């Protein structure tokens, strides 16, 4: 499968084989699987164990709820998310109860979202996380309380046929995954210095 990550040291298959498709099968996600995804998020670490993450979840089984959540995505994401079996919004609690900023809130939402994504991978499910969210619209629509911010959306389901996508999205679906080389972001000693133990890119 040409989407598998190419690495200079082996990584676990759940990490190597995960990617973010746009073509999903319409098959529903079983409730137990969905609960497992949220349990994975629940047990993520967080600063001071504050667990500043929230998930608003909509499935195709509840069409009104699904349409409501779908309306929170930007047009470019609504193009392919209408038939995804499960959509979620993530929300970060960016202020603690005393009104102080939790600087790590969105970072910790990321920790929880990645746990959820890897749990999904362990069940043969794929997640596509999206920054393209109408955040103000979503906050108003769901009456998200003060001190909380809508952050991302996540599509969840089984991978579908790339040919079900419009041509431009199909092209992206079939393109290889790319990442910057390790030596562009892994340093030791000082900024920009490559660690001696880092192998050269192949």
Site for its own copies in 143-172 (CB under 8 A): 143-145, 151-152
- Told to check if 35 binds its own copies by CB under 8 A, we report yes
- Told to check if 38 binds its own copies by CB under 8 A, we report yes
Q: Which of 22, 23, 36, 72 binds its own copies (CB under 8 A)?
A: 36
| SS3 category, 70 | helix
CA 187/CA 182 separation, integer angstroms: 9
Minimum distance between the CB of residue 78 and its own copies, rounded to whole angstroms? 17
- Binding track over 66-85 against its own copies, x by CB under 8 A: --x-----------------
CA 124/CA 158 separation, integer angstroms: 7
Give the length of the chain: 202
Q: Which element (helix H / strand E) includes 87? A: strand 86-93
Distances (CA, A) of 181 to 19, 82, 194: 18, 35, 11
| SS3 category, 108 | helix
Q: Which of 99, 100, 168, 197 binds its own copies (CB under 8 A)?
A: 197
Choose the stretch contacting its own copies; rule: CB under 8 A; options: 75-83, 157-165, 186-194: 186-194
Q: Which of 10, 99, 176, 202 binds its own copies (CB under 8 A)?
A: 10
- Told to check if 55 binds its own copies by CB under 8 A, we report yes
13 vs 163 by CB, closer to its own copies: 13
Residues 6+ apart with CB under 8 A from 52: 46, 92, 93, 94, 102, 104, 105, 108, 109
CA 117/CA 152 separation, integer angstroms: 13
Minimum distance between the CB of residue 156 and its own copies, rounded to whole angstroms? 13
- Told to check if 190 binds its own copies by CB under 8 A, we report yes
Choose the stretch contacting its own copies; rule: CB under 8 A; options: 2-10, 71-79, 160-168: 2-10
Phi, psi of 90 (to 5 degrees): -100, 145
84 vs 113 by CB, closer to its own copies: 113
Q: Which of residues 124-143 bind its own copies (CB under 8 A)?
A: 129, 131, 142-143
Across-strand partners of 130? 153
């Amino acid at each position: 499968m040409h989407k598998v990550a190419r690495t200079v040291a082996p990584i676990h298959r759940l990490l190597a084989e995960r990617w973010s498709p746009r073509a999903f099968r319409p098959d529903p996600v079983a409730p137990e699987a969905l609960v497992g995804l949220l349990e994975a998020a629940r047990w993520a670490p967080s600063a001071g164990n504050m667990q500043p993450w929230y998930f608003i979840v909509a499935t195709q089984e509840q069409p009104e709820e699904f349409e409501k959540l779908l309306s929170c995505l930007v047009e470019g994401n609504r193009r392919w998310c209408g038939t995804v079996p499960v959509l979620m919004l993530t929300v970060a609690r960016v202020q603690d109860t005393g009104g102080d900023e939790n600087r790590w809130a969105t970072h910790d939402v990321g920790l929880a979202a990645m746990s959820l994504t890897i749990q999904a991978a362990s069940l043969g499910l794929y997640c596509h996380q999206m920054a393209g969210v109408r955040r103000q619209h979503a906050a108003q629509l769901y009456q998200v309380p003060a001190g909380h911010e809508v952050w991302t959306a996540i599509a969840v389901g089984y991978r579908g046929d790339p040919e079900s996508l419009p041509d431009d999205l199909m092209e992206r679906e079939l393109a290889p995954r790319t990442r910057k080389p390790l030596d562009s972001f892994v340093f030791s000693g000082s900024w920009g210095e490559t660690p001696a133990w880092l192998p050269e890119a192949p």
